[in-house]
Every structure is written in C-alpha cells, then in structure tokens.
Amino acid sequence: LRESMLPHQGGWSLSEAILTAGQATADNQPAGLAEIQYMLRVPTIAMAETVSAALDRNAAAAAAMTGCRWERHWVCKSRPGLANHAIARVVWEAMESRGAPVWDEAAKTVARDIQVTLGLDPMDDPFIPEMSRLIDPEAAEAILRQDLPPSQTHSTSDDYTDMCWHAPTARFYVARPALRAPSGYAYPAWVMNALGGIRATIDPMVERAAEVLALSALRLIEDTAARDAAWAEFESRTGGGVGGKLWCPPQCDYDPPVHFRWPEYVTTPRGRDWWIPSTMPGA
C-alpha cells in the first residue's frame, strides 16, 4: 500500500509502529482497541495530505471488514522550511571564524578504547576526517541534491522548520563524533550513543555549536545591515512577513494531543516493569 501512495522519487518516508494490539488478551478474545502510529516525512504539505487521505481510506476499509469503527488523532504537523540566505551567510561567516570542532588526544583515547572493546585494532586517528572539515553551504547543498529530482525544492521535513515562518532562520550542522571503520565493518548502534554521552567526545561538538550560535546572535544584534537584509528576505519570501500572501500558517487544525496515555512504571512480584494505563475516554 505504501508504494502506491506517492511516486517513487525524491526524499520521503513513512514509518509505523503498533502501539496497542492484543497485548496479553487471549487469542480467542480480540482486543477492544488497536493503535498504529505513523511517522511521515515529506517535502510538501500536498504530499502529506495525499498520504493522509490514503491512510484514512485504509483505516476505513479495515474497519468495514472487521465490524469496527476507526478514529484518527494527530500528534504533530509541521510546515516546510523557508530559506533565508542572508542569515545563512551570517551563520556561515561565524562558522568560518571559529572553524570546525577539534577532537583532542583524550577524545581519541576514548575512541580507541571503544575499538579495542569491539576487537578492532586501535587507529592512530580513529575519527572520520569529515568531522573536522568545514564545507561551504552551496557545496553541501549540491551534494544533497544529487539524490533529489530537480523539481524538489525541499529535502524532507523536520520540526525546526516551523520557526522559519516567524523569523529569519538558518540551520547549521556541527559534526558529532563518529569513528572510522575498517573496510566492510559497521559499528553497533551503542557506539554512537556512547560517543554522544562522554564529555571528551561530545563536548567539542556542543562547544563549537554554542560558539557559532553566540557569534551569529551578536553579529545580528550589532550589525544593522545584516539584520535588515535577513528581515527583508523574510518579508519577500513570505509576501509581507507573518500573515503575508505567501506565508504558510501553522497546521493546527486538530485537537491538542494532551489526552494520550503515558507509560506507567510499576513494581510487581516480578520486579520493576511498565504498562500503558487506560485514560482515554472509551479505551
């Protein structure tokens, strides 16, 4: 069904998770409630609406076949990003000023310890070289667009993009620690989590990102011309600023998702565990 929702091109994805099903109910006593959650990333609102309509049809068909009723609840919707080259230049100049993050010998020692733990030979330079290189925004976008059709103006979706419609916004990336791998080898998932939780390996990224944010903010506070250029571009792209003729309003056409259940942690004779209590009306 997923393959027939949208064309096989561009950057879009649809993931799902079954949150509630039969759980511990006996197989001859069907559960009274089943839940499936979808996570959709698409570059345009029109594509999102197309997929949403297809999911609605699927739900209606499944309910009709089983004598059930169905409901759709939204948890979150976001808008596509809005470019602002003027503020992006300010941020890029701040990045050029500070340079890429640098991982010292203490960080490399941690990385080598991980490699040894995994039975690998420790490397003199265990981190991938791209982490400590700056790449100009136009060059980075050219690489990204190699895998996108020419007609696609946005890469995918995210949450920060909602901010773009209320003030000039730039997004920048600072590398997080990642290890070189021997040919044909893939590190287990815990390695990324470990590198992101050890000060020696994660602090260089966090500190450099903080410096870039601070420098960019100070520049915008002090540089009237840069600030005016960013705001002028924002007003041009939105057709007059917030509420302008090209402005995209918040996609808040659904009830706030405040009634959904949170896991409840309990202690039983079996030990500490968790369950999802019934708090929704009719659940």
What confidence tens digit (pLDDT) does each residue in 172-205 have? 999 999 999 999 999 999 999 999 999 999 999 9
Number of folded domains in the chain? Answer: 2
187/51 same-domain check: no
Domain membership flag for residue 245 = no
Domain membership flag for residue 246 = no
94/174 same-domain check: yes
Domain membership flag for residue 39 = yes
69/115 same-domain check: no
93 strand-pairing partners: none
Q: Where are the alpha helices (DSSP H) in the chain?
A: 45-66, 85-98, 105-117, 137-145, 189-195, 199-222, 224-238
The residue among 262 and 35 whose pLDDT is bigger is: 35
Q: Tell me: the pLDDT tens digits for 120-172?
A: 999 999 999 999 999 999 999 999 889 888 888 888 778 889 999 999 999 99
149/263 same-domain check: no
Q: pTM for the full model? A: 0.83
Query: Can you give the pLDDT at residue 280?
Result: 54
185/261 same-domain check: no
Decide: helix, strand or coil at residue 200. Answer: helix
Domain membership flag for residue 247 = no
Domain membership flag for residue 280 = no
Query: Can you give the pLDDT at residue 159?
Result: 80
Domain membership flag for residue 152 = yes
132/9 same-domain check: no
Tokens representing 63? 């309910």
Mean pLDDT of 220-249: 97
Q: The domain containing residue 131 runs over which residues?
A: 85-238
Q: Is the Cβ–Cβ distance between 237 and 165 less than 8 Å?
A: no
